[in-house]
C-alpha cells in the first residue's frame, strides 16, 4: 500500500467504509484510530517524531523497574535469537510506553534512527496514535499491529507484536514488543504473538519469584510436568496461608475470571475460601498435590522460602521497625505494608542531615506543616514515610498523593471525596477521599507545586479550620493530620508568577527541609553499604561483600537518580549476583559505561568491562593469568563461579598441549 493512500483509508474506515486492502479491521483497532483523531487530535500523515529521553532521564525512568529489566534480559535475548529471521527489534517498554530495554539487528540501525525507534523513545497513543505498545497499554493483552494498521503513515511499513507484563497485585509494569521492519502478515504475526506472550509470562513469573523470595509460592499449572514456566501461574502465601500476591493467570485458573479482572481480588483471602481444598497444609505436603479450579484440575508445586543464615544478617539499625511491619496485619487494600527504609538508613551519619532530621521530627510530632525540597530521588517520599512510622502519628494512616500524577479534573474528588451522584462517573456509593484516610495520621502531598490554583484555597482552609466539605455534600467533615509536602519546583517563583497562593506558600514554607543530592553526602560509602544490605535482606539471600573495583565504581558514580537510583542498583545486583563477592559484572552495564566514559585517557580500563562483550580480550586475560582461574577472577573483581560462566558463554577454552 502506498504511503499517500494510508491516511485516506484510515479516515475512510473511521467513516464506516471498509477499505479493500483491510477488510477485517477489528473493533479495538478502530476504537484506537478514533481516539487518535477525536481525543488526541492527530492526523496519520502529520504525526511528530516520538520524544526521546536524554540519557540521564532514561536512567531515572529505568530505575524503578531496573530489577524487572534485569530479569527480562535473558528472555529478551532468547526471543531475539529465536525470531531473528522474522523480526529485527525486541524492546521492553515501561507502563508509560517508554522504551527502557532495546535489542536490534545492525542492518536496521539507520531505519530505527530515522523512525526514532530507540532506547528512551515514548510510544503512547496520545502522541503517536495507534501502535502496538500504545494499544497494549490500554487493552492489557497480547496483540499485533500489522503494517498499515498503524495510525501513523510513517509506521505503515512496520509490524509490532506485543504482550503485557504484570507485576505486584496484577498491575501492568511493562510491555514486551517485537518489531518486524519488513513486509509480513497476520498469520505469521499470530505465531510470533504466541511466542511473545509466552516470553512475557516467563518474565512475569521470574519477577514474581524474586519479589516473593521470602514467602511460600504455589506454582499452578494444568500440566503435571511443569516443563515450561510460560504455562504456569503463581500464588504467594503468608505464614497464615493468606494470599499476598498472584499473577493474572492464577485468577483465571482458580476462578475462571476474564482478562479484564485483576488478581488483587484474591489478595487477603485464604486459598480454602476460593477453591474446595479442605486442609491446605495437608494438601501441600502431598507428593503431587492437585486442586479443582473453574477450568479443571490444577497441578501444584510448592516453593518454600529459604532460611536465611543468621550469622550473615546485615548489621544495620532497622530490625525493630522491620519486624514490627512484617508482623502487622493486612492493610485495608488487602496487601501487606512494604517495609520502608528507616530514618537511620535515609539520614546516615551526615552531620547536616542529622541536624535537619531533629528539626523535622519535632515539627512533624506537633502537626506543623513540613516542606521537603530536593532533587528527584533524593528520598523525600521515603523520609516522609519514615517520619510517620517513627513518630507519634503512626497509629493513623500514611496517605501519599502525587499532585502531578492525578488529572486536574479528578484531584478535588480524590482529595476531598464525593457523595453519591456528585458528578458524572462518580461511584454510586460515593467515596470518602484521601484526606479522611489520613485522619490521625500523615498526609504526604508530593509535587505540591502542581496542585491546581483553585484547590490550593481549599487545602489552606483545611489547614486553618481542620474541616472540609466533600464534593456534592453540604455538611463539613472534621479531620486532623500531620502534613508533609514536597516539590522539585521553586514555590517562591510560582508565587511571583501567580501560579501558587502566597498565603499557602507561607503556611507551608515556614519549615522547609532541603535534602542534599546523594553525590554531596559525606557518608556515601555507608549509604551504599546499607542499601546493598537491605536489598539482600528483602531478597531473602545472604549478604555479599562488594569488591574493591565495584565499590570504586559506585563511589565515583554521580547518582543523578539519587537514593532511588542507589536502591534500585542494589536490588538489581541482588537479583543477578550469585557469589559471595559483588564484582563489576553484577553491576548495571550503564554504571560501567559511565565509569569508562569518565576514565582518564592513558589509564588501563578495568578488564571486566572488556570481558562482558569481547571473547578475544577474555582469552587474552586468561593467557596473561597463565590460565589461573583464581588470579583472573581476582583481577576482574568477580568470583570463580562467575568467571567459569563467562568462559562458557564466550566459548573460551584453554588450548590443549601438543602430545
Can you give the pLDDT at residue 327? 34
Whole-angstrom distance, CA of residue 415 vs CA of residue 109: 48
Given a contact cutoff of 8 angstroms between Cβ atoms, the answer to whether 482 and 364 are in contact is yes
Pick 155 or 19 by higher pLDDT: 155
Give residue 274's pLDDT band: very low, low, confident or very high (50, 70, 90): confident
Which grid coordinates belong to 597?
Answer: 566514559
Given a contact cutoff of 8 angstroms between Cβ atoms, the answer to whether 117 and 179 are in contact is yes
Can you give the pLDDT at residue 123? 95
Give residue 263's pLDDT band: very low, low, confident or very high (50, 70, 90): confident
DSSP bridge partners of 297: 292
Burial 416-454 (b: 16+ CB within 10 A, else e): bbbbeebeeebeeebbebbbbbbbebbbbbbbbbbbeee
Whole-angstrom distance, CA of residue 417 vs CA of residue 437: 10
Q: Where are the alpha helices (DSSP H) in 256-395?
A: 280-284, 319-326, 343-347, 351-365, 380-389
Given a contact cutoff of 8 angstroms between Cβ atoms, the answer to whether 515 and 379 are in contact is yes
Can you give the pLDDT at residue 130? 95
Can you give the pLDDT at residue 641? 63
Pick 264 or 385 by higher pLDDT: 385
Of the segments 184-193, 222-231, 455-464, 534-543, which one has the largest average pLDDT value? 184-193
Share of the chain above pLDDT 70, in %: 81
Burial 578-602 (b: 16+ CB within 10 A, else e): ebebbbbbbbbeebbebbeeeeeee
Helix (H) or strand (E) holding 199: helix 186-211
Locus of grid cell 504473538: 193
What's CA 359's distance to the chain center, in Å? 33
pLDDT in tens, 113-122: 889 898 899 9
Share of the chain above pLDDT 90, in %: 21
Closest CA to 263 of 327, 198, 208, 301: 208
Can you give the pLDDT at residue 610? 37
DSSP bridge partners of 90: 103, 178
The mean of the pLDDT values for the chain is: 79
Decide if pLDDT at 379 tops 80: yes
Decide if pLDDT at 313 tops 60: no
| Burial status of residue 611 (CB atoms within 10 A of its CB: 0-12, 13-18, 19 or more) | buried
Of the segments 139-148, 301-310, 559-568, 579-588, which one has the largest average pLDDT value? 139-148
Decide if pLDDT at 304 tops 90: no
Given a contact cutoff of 8 angstroms between Cβ atoms, the answer to whether 64 and 83 are in contact is no
Decide if pLDDT at 558 tops 70: yes
Decide if pLDDT at 642 tops 70: no
DSSP string for residues in 496-526:
HTTSS-HHHHHHHHTSEEEPPPGGG-TTHHH
Whole-angstrom distance, CA of residue 455 vs CA of residue 121: 34
Give residue 407's pLDDT band: very low, low, confident or very high (50, 70, 90): low
The arithmetic mean of pLDDT across residues 255-270, rounded, is 75
Whole-angstrom distance, CA of residue 608 vs CA of residue 617: 10
The arithmetic mean of pLDDT across residues 42-46, rounded, is 90
Pick 305 or 290 by higher pLDDT: 290
Decide if pLDDT at 307 tops 80: no
pLDDT in tens, 591-604: 776 665 555 444 44
State whether residue 377 is helix, strand or coil: coil
Decide if pLDDT at 158 tops 90: yes
Can you give the pLDDT at residue 55? 73
Give residue 474's pLDDT band: very low, low, confident or very high (50, 70, 90): low
Question: What are the structural domains, with CATH classification, of the chain?
Answer: 3-209 (3.30.450.40), 215-303 (no CATH), 351-515 (3.40.50.300), 523-649 (1.10.8.60)
pLDDT in tens, 533-557: 888 887 777 778 898 888 888 998 8
The arithmetic mean of pLDDT across residues 625-631, rounded, is 76
pLDDT in tens, 349-376: 777 777 778 888 888 888 888 999 888 8
Closest CA to 345 of 385, 374, 316: 316
Whole-prediction pTM: 0.54
Can you give the pLDDT at residue 318? 34
HSE-CB of 223 using CA atoms within 13 angstroms: 8
- Which are the contacts of 358, defined by CB distance < 8 A and separation ≥ 6? none
Pick 69 or 291 by higher pLDDT: 291
Amino acid at each position: 500500500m502506498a504511503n499517500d493512500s494510508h491516511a485516506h483509508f484510515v479516515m475512510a474506515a473511521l467513516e464506516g467504509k471498509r477499505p479493500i486492502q483491510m477488510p477485517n479491521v477489528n473493533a479495538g483497532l478502530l476504537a484506537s484510530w478514533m481516539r487518535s483523531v477525536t481525543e488526541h487530535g492527530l492526523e496519520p500523515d502529520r504525526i511528530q517524531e516520538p520524544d526521546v529521553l536524554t540519557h540521564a532521564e532514561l536512567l531515572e525512568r529505568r530505575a524503578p523497574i531496573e530489577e524487572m529489566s534485569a530479569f527480562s534480559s535473558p528472555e529478551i535475548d532468547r526471543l531475539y535469537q529465536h525470531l531473528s529471521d522474522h523480526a529485527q527489534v525486541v524492546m521492553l517498554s515501561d507502563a508509560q510506553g517508554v522504551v527502557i530495554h532495546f535489542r536490534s539487528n545492525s542492518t536496521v540501525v539507520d531505519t530505527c534512527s530515522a523512525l526514532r525507534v530507540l532506547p528512551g523513545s515514548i510510544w503512547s497513543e496520545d502522541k503517536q496514535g495507534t501502535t502496538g505498545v500504545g494499544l497494549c497499554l490500554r487493552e492489557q493483552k497480547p496483540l499485533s499491529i500489522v503494517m498499515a494498521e498503524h495510525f501513523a503513515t510513517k509506521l505503515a511499513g512496520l509490524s509490532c507484536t506485543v504482550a503485557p507484563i504484570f507485576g505486584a497485585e496484577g498491575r501492568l509494569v511493562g510491555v514486551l514488543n517485537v518489531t518486524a521492519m519488513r513486509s509480513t502478515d497476520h498469520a505469521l504475526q499470530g505465531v510470533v504473538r504466541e511466542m511473545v506472550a509466552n516470553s512475557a509470562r516467563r518474565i512475569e513469573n521470574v519477577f514474581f519469584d524474586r519479589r516473593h523470595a521470602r514467602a511460600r509460592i504455589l506454582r499452578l499449572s494444568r500440566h503435571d510436568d511443569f516443563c515450561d514456566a510460560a504455562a504456569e501461574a503463581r500464588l504467594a502465601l503468608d505464614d497464615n496461608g493468606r494470599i499476598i500476591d498472584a499473577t493474572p493467570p492464577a485468577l483465571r485458573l482458580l476462578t475462571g475470571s476474564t482478562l479484564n479482572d485483576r488478581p488483587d481480588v484474591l489478595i487477603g483471602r485464604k486459598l480454602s475460601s476460593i477453591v474446595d481444598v479442605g486442609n491446605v497444609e495437608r494438601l501441600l505436603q502431598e507428593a503431587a498435590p492437585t486442586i479443582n479450579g473453574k477450568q479443571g484440575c490444577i497441578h501444584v508445586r510448592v516453593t518454600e522460602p529459604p532460611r536465611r543464615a543468621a550469622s550473615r544478617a546485615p548489621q544495620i539499625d532497622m530490625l525493630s521497625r522491620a519486624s514490627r511491619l512484617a508482623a502487622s496485619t493486612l492493610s485495608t487494600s488487602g496487601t501487606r505494608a512494604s517495609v520502608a527504609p528507616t530514618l537511620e538508613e535515609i539520614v546516615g551519619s551526615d552531620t547536616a542531615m542529622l541536624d535537619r532530621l531533629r528539626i523535622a521530627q519535632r515539627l512533624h510530632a506537633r502537626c506543623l506543616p513540613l516542606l521537603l525540597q530536593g532533587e528527584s530521588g533524593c528520598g523525600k517520599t521515603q523520609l516522609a514515610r519514615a517520619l510517620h512510622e517513627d513518630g507519634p502519628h503512626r497509629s493513623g494512616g500514611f496517605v501519599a498523593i502525587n499532585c502531578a500524577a492525578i488529572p486536574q479534573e479528578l484531584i478535588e474528588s480524590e482529595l476531598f471525596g464525593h457523595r453519591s451522584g456528585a458528578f458524572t462517573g462518580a461511584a454510586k456509593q460515593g467515596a470518602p477521599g484521601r484526606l479522611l484516610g489520613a485522619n490521625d495520621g500523615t498526609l504526604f502531598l508530593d509535587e505540591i507545586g502542581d496542585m491546581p490554583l483553585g484547590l490550593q484555597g481549599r487545602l489552606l482552609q483545611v489547614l486553618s479550620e481542620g474541616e472540609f466539605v466533600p464534593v456534592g455534600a453540604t455538611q463539613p467533615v472534621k479531620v486532623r493530620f500531620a502534613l508533609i509536602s514536597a516539590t522539585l519546583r521553586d514555590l517562591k517563583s510560582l508565587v511571583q508568577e501567580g501560579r501558587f497562593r502566597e498565603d499557602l506558600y507561607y503556611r507551608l514554607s515556614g519549615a522547609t527541609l532541603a535534602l542534599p543530592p546523594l553525590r554531596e553526602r559525606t557518608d556515601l560509602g555507608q549509604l551504599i553499604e546499607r542499601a546493598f544490605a537491605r536489598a539482600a535482606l528483602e531478597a531473602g539471600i545472604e549478604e555479599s561483600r562488594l569488591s574493591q573495583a565495584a565499590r570504586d565504581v559506585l563511589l565515583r558514580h554521580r547518582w543523578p537518580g539519587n537514593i532511588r537510583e542507589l536502591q534500585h542498583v542494589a536490588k538489581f545486583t541482588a537479583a543477578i549476583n550469585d557469589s559471595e563477592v559483588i564484582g563489576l559484572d553484577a553491576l548495571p552495564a550503564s554504571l560501567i559505561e559511565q565509569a569508562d566514559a569518565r576514565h582518564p585517557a592513558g589509564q588501563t580500563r578495568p578488564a571486566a568491562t572488556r570481558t562482558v562483550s569481547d571473547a578475544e580480550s577474555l582469552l587474552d586475560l586468561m593467557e596473561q593469568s597463565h590460565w589461573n582461574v583464581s588470579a583472573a577472577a581476582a583481577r576482574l573483581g568477580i568470583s570463580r563461579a562467575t568467571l567459569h560462566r563467562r568462559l562458557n558463554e564466550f566459548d573460551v577454552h584453554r588450548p590443549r598441549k601438543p602430545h
